[in-house]
Amino acid sequence: MRNYRLFFTLATATILFGGIMLTNSCSKQDNSMNIVDKQLLAESKAMTERVLDFKQRMEYYHDNPGLKDGGQLYTAPEAMLELETLLNYTFCHTGMNCPIVETGYSEVVMPLNELSKIADPRLSQLYYEEIIDSIQAQMNRSSLENKKLLLVDLEQTGQAPNGDAIISIRALIGNDQQVVLHNDEWWFGENYGRCNGTHAPEDAASQLAARIASALIPVPPTGCRWYFAGGIESIYIFPTQDPLGTTFDNYLDYKIFYATEEVAPIGYTEKCLSQFEMSFYEGHYINYALNYQTVTNKYFNRCTILGNPYSNPYRIWHEYTIFVGNRFLECSVLIDDILTY
């Protein structure tokens, strides 16, 4: 912690929605949508109808297990997009910023026919009996209380010897508690709280994640929520990839928080981030997210920032991962609890 001040001004930002441009004020003080673009509403309506149509087919074949044929055929990537969208639409609390976020991983095998495709009956069986069960198992393994599913990311990571697709399931799981933003000094991570030990399990990492979400995700209209469709993408920002000089002293050496005892001893000063340092990293972290939106032509969903110590040599840093997708509005259907589904 060093006692300096830094003033950032967040200018009016241009936010991308589903292939259209909507200009909106994005300060943390007033990040709401007072006027909803008609095209956004139309595109959201069309996407929601598509999601609900797919959900209805999954339910139909689940309720009629004797039907082995019929419905639509999908390649593995097509099926993953439909399943990922349905999972995020039905179960994920997109707008929740939790002080503790855990990541669960599992794999399932998607059976494909001789044309390397899967039909609705087999896809419904996979969805209900393996994918949902797998996510429930991930959540049950978590020690968090009042768990909420925040995001599901599906990816084909391999191919079985018989040609079936191996699907990786990544689920972000949070505790049911919203981060409360405080402009203060924060411990770098470890769920320690402020530098005086209060406000745990929040820390600098969770505060910065919430600030990024507050800056980049507009508050939806009253009674509505965001959901993501069309494929979640993510990027991990390596902490030392962007040095800010050629000599290092464990103070603002990189755009991502990083300190190592290879450079200098690490103590209270390095672990406690001042208001100046918090604002410094906030600006850089937001820029990384904005750049990733531009590269992918998708929209910020959430990020995870973890602050932990590591050994040999002793070092501390922020593990920063950004998630983006195509964003749509839902104003009538509530989120289901996957643990009781």
**pLDDT tens sequence across 247-278:** 999 999 999 999 999 999 999 999 999 999 99
| Cβ atoms within 10 Å, residue 145 | 9
Give a three-class secondary structure readout of 240-283.
Answer: CCCECCCCCCCCCCECCCEEECCCCCCCHHHHEECHHHHHHHHH
Position 9 pLDDT exceeds 80: no
At residue 69, the pLDDT reads 84
Please write the tens of the pLDDT for every residue from 85-140: 999 999 999 989 999 999 999 999 999 999 999 999 999 999 999 999 999 999 99
* CA gap 196, 317 in Å, rounded: 20
Query: Can you give the pTM of this predicted structure?
Result: 0.87
At residue 33, the pLDDT reads 52
Amino acid letter, residue 109: V
Position 294 pLDDT exceeds 80: yes
pLDDT band, very low/low/confident/very high, at 28 (cuts 50, 70, 90): very low
At residue 14, the pLDDT reads 32
* CA gap 233, 252 in Å, rounded: 29
At residue 38, the pLDDT reads 85
Position 324 pLDDT exceeds 90: yes
Q: How far is CA 18 from CA 13, 47, 299, in A?
A: 16, 10, 8
3-state SS of the chain: helix, strand, coil percent to 5? 30, 30, 40
At residue 36, the pLDDT reads 65
Q: Phi/psi zone of residue 140: left (φ > 0), alpha (ψ -120 to 50 degrees), beta?
A: alpha
At residue 5, the pLDDT reads 31
Mean confidence (pLDDT) of the chain: 89
